[in-house]
Amino acid sequence: MKKLNNLIIVESPTKAKTIGTFLSKEYKILSSYGHVRDLPKSSLGIEPENDFKIKYIIPTKARKNVNLLKKEVKNADLVYIATDPDREGEAIAWHLIEILGLGKDKDYQRISFHEITSQAINEAIKKPHHLDINLVNAQQARRALDRIVGYKLSPLLWKKIARHLSAGRVQSVALKLIVDREREIQNFKTEEYWTISGLFEKDSKKVETLLSKVKGKKVLIKNTNEAEEIINKLKDKEYNISKLEKKIVKRNPLPPFTTSTMQQEASKKLRFPSSLTMKTAQELYEKGYITYHRTDSLNLSSQSIALAKSFITTQFGKEYALDNGRKFKTSKRAQEAHEAIRPTNIENTPDKLKLDERQRKLYNLIWTRFTACQMKEALFNSVKLEISSKDKDVFDASGLQIKFDGFLKIYPTKIEEKEIPQFDENDLMSLIELKPFQHFTKPPARFNEASLIKEMENNEIGRPSTYAPTISTIQKRNYVEKNPEKRFVPTEIGFSVNDLLAEHFPEIIDIKFTAKMEKDLDEVAQEGKNWIELLKTFYSPFNEKLEKKYQEIEKKPTEHKSADKDCPKCGKPMLIKRSRFGEFMACSGFPECRHTESIENKNTKTGIICPKCEQGEVISKKTKKGKIFYGCSKWPDCDFASWYKPTGERCPQCNSLLIEKGKKIVCEDKNCKYIKT
């Protein structure tokens, strides 16, 4: 009997190697090494006048492998295309079918799976399906839209601002979010406010409370005089417990990871950039340890839920396991056929697998998140009380204590436990002490990777697989940079690019417009909406406006600021010039003299009012050796400086500055041991 020669083509060699461990020698598994066709770099590669015909080419680096695949296809009895189960994977499958002549000279079958396990691979081979051309067209439409915006709009930025800049359909909106937030911070006016705590006692049992109402009205204290005035009115009154509420509250676990929430949590807990998270997840998927990592679905297979129940019962006890498992509601945009990100086998605990440190950390996060989502909820004893005067002055206190840890046993979250002593309603309480605390309102926080991804997801900008490359692009283009707190700050060039687009192409950076485009692409993928018509609808007004703007926007002579120093080579004045990489110093004798210098000690605003002069803003600076410190923007008029970032608040114990030291907020005075909880 002739031995069958079946060929399976996947995207990566690691994926091919893992699949090879599950199949017999009748199957040969090869890799396409990613995309085998793409648009040319030297031209637009799209013909708008010819129904947006796309000119695909085989990149030079892919040609040798493509020739190998063609040779292997000829020798194969049957070819399986087993690329990833999403738009990108379906597009790669289509390109492979096109260039290898599959379906014409050679039979092929399209197979897909959401995890690389023996069972999943063998089931996929038994149940081949047709290529989903709607997914292919959605990917083609996205690629064409991004190419049109990038190749048509970028030259305008070169002409108006600086050479080698770029605009992108999604990256420009992400930049707008960061710029808008920065301007919100710049325009924010800090306001002072005060709170008053009250310490009460009965039978040697004490409880600390916070003033919430004065004479039945919500309290708002603007300054120290108002605080002292209120304290004087409250200190001699009689108080009793006017309200006492005791109950058991539940806290449910978070759902399993989607691509977005995985990137957010890895950023928060592991300090992983989104690009590193996706790279690591790709490795774990290809090794067969987790399900497909590009998903926005919260769906879980019945089998994975049943296995989780068995594992939890055995490892932690019956009291931690759910009777019927827990399912989660998925958003309308998600593809229900996909699953959430989970371990392929819950028995593969993080300590059992051979992983490097980076892979182990992410796998542990994924494993614990999934396991926790199938565990019983945590139970807490909750106590809330109000202590009031006859004049309806009200102080509040609440306490929380764990009664049953449930899912918190393996997936702890930050919970401030506080015990409230045993009291009864109507108990008379003795007022021991009233203390005022000064506070200042804070501007909204700058985006970090986690919060930017969450904002993009909330506004339906891009897809889960595009978040990481979008964030990488705006950093590589020097449109934004990360400050010492790992938060995004727009550069001067970033402001300029955003402002030009906002003035001349507001629809490109309009959040609702971009979200509508994503919805249209989803309709191409899910309902077969005509992708050519989608491109036409976008292109005609865009191209018409672009041609008009080229006429309207004339290149203005660049005005350069003086650098207040002379060129060390020729003696002519140095000027401050600007490129996509930011500002730099260059000799005014260019092109005869080409001397340039970098500008050191770039400052980054923090949005915090200087605690010394109360006029300037605290900015981060760098020493000559590159060490970061914090100083006042009014220097040299104000000499405030600190190695640690001030919070803008004062210590309640000694009135010194509160500073961020690592992950803690502590008093600047080393003799004061105050730590903010």
The single residue of 27, 108, 239, 292 carrying the catalytic annotation is 292
Tokens 């051309």: give the residue: 133
- Per-residue pLDDT reduced to its tens digit, 430-480: 999 999 999 999 999 999 999 999 999 999 888 888 899 999 999 988 899
* Nearby residues of 347 by Cβ (< 8 Å), 6 or more positions away: 307, 311
Cα dist from 275 to 119, 279, 333, 468, whole Å: 30, 6, 23, 5
CA–CA distance, 312 with 180 (Å, rounded to integer): 46
Q: Residue 30: what are its φ and ψ, rounded to 5°?
A: -125, 160
Run means of pLDDT, 10 residues per run, the chain, 677 residues: 80 94 93 94 93 94 95 94 93 96 90 94 94 96 93 85 80 95 93 96 96 95 96 95 96 96 95 94 96 93 95 97 91 69 96 95 98 97 96 96 96 89 95 95 94 94 88 90 88 89 89 91 93 94 88 62 85 80 79 79 71 80 68 79 82 82 80 79
Domain 6-131 belongs to what topology? Rossmann fold (3.40.50)
* Domain 192-252+378-440 in this protein, CATH class: mainly beta
The pTM of this model reads: 0.80
Fold of 139-187+446-552: Topoisomerase I; domain 2 (1.10.460)
**Residues facing 509 on adjacent strands:** none
Which pLDDT score, from 0 to 100, does residue 600 have?
Answer: 53
Residue with tokens 């986690």: 450
Angle between helices 274-286 and 357-373 (to 10 degrees): 80
Topology adopted by domain 259-373: Topoisomerase I; domain 4 (1.10.290)
Q: Where are the beta strands (DSSP E) in 537-676?
A: 561-566, 573-579, 582-587, 596-598, 604-609, 617-622, 628-632, 641-642, 645-650, 657-661, 664-667
Helices 449-458 & 467-476, crossing angle to 10 degrees?
A: 120
Domain boundaries, the chain: 6-131, 139-187+446-552, 192-252+378-440, 259-373, 561-598
Q: What is the pLDDT of residues 6-25, one digit of tens each?
A: 999 999 999 999 999 999 99
Predicted pLDDT of residue 601 = 46
Asked if 292 is an active-site residue, the reply is yes
Whether residue 139 contacts residue 472, with contact meaning beta carbons closer than 8 Å, is answered with no
